[in-house]
């Protein structure tokens, strides 16, 4: 059975590009438009969650904190995929519970390698 990934990003084109790459690699993909939309999908158990940082309504750091309060996905590994590379923001992300911080632009193969390492 395919592993389920939740990908949350306010950019429609980014959701499409990453979604296609993940599906080609055999993952089942659910997407969200921002942190609030992502939270609404947390009743489903995901194997990994990938999120942007800069989003309207609820940013990625707030989204991570919401995930960690959710009993279904509390222990799900989180990858931040963002244009932000500042040490302070990375630290906030890690303290909130992000396992990996990847900076855009990125190659889909890099993301797939990270997912394979996280998921075994």
Q: At what angle do helices 12-24 and 108-119 cross, to 10 degrees?
A: 60
- Assess contact for 48 and 79: CB atoms under 8 A: yes
Looking at the structure of the chain, the number of domains it has is 1
Which CATH number goes with the domain that contains 65?
A: 3.40.50.2300
Phi, psi (deg, nearest 5) at residue 51: -140, 145
What's the CA gap between 78 and 94, in Å, rounded? 10
62 falls in which pLDDT band (50, 70, 90)? very high
Residue 1 has pLDDT above 90, yes or no: no
pLDDT in tens, 9-57: 999 999 999 999 999 999 999 999 999 999 999 999 999 999 999 999 9
Is pLDDT above 90 for 120?
no
Question: Is 90 exceeded by the pLDDT of residue 110?
Answer: yes
What residue has token string 């797939």?
A: 112
Angle between helices 87-96 and 60-68 (to 10 degrees): 20
Question: At 51, which helix (H) or strand (E)?
Answer: strand 48-51
Domain of 102, in residue numbers: 4-119
Two structure tokens written together for 110: 């890099």
Segment 74-107, tens digit of pLDDT: 999 999 999 999 999 999 999 999 999 999 999 9
């Amino acid at each position: 059975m395919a592993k389920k990934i939740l990908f949350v990003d306010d950019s429609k084109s980014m959701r499409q590009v990453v979604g296609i790459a993940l599906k080609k690699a055999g993952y089942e993909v659910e997407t969200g438009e921002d942190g609030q939309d992502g939270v609404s999908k947390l009743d489903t158990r995901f194997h990994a969650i990938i999120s942007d940082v800069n989003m309207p309504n609820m940013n990625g750091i707030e989204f991570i904190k919401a995930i960690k309060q959710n009993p279904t996905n509390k222990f799900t590994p989180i990858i931040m995929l963002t244009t932000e590379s500042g040490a302070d923001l990375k630290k906030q992300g890690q303290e909130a519970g992000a396992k990996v911080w990847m900076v855009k632009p990125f190659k889909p193969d890099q993301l797939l390698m990270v997912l394979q390492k996280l998921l075994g």
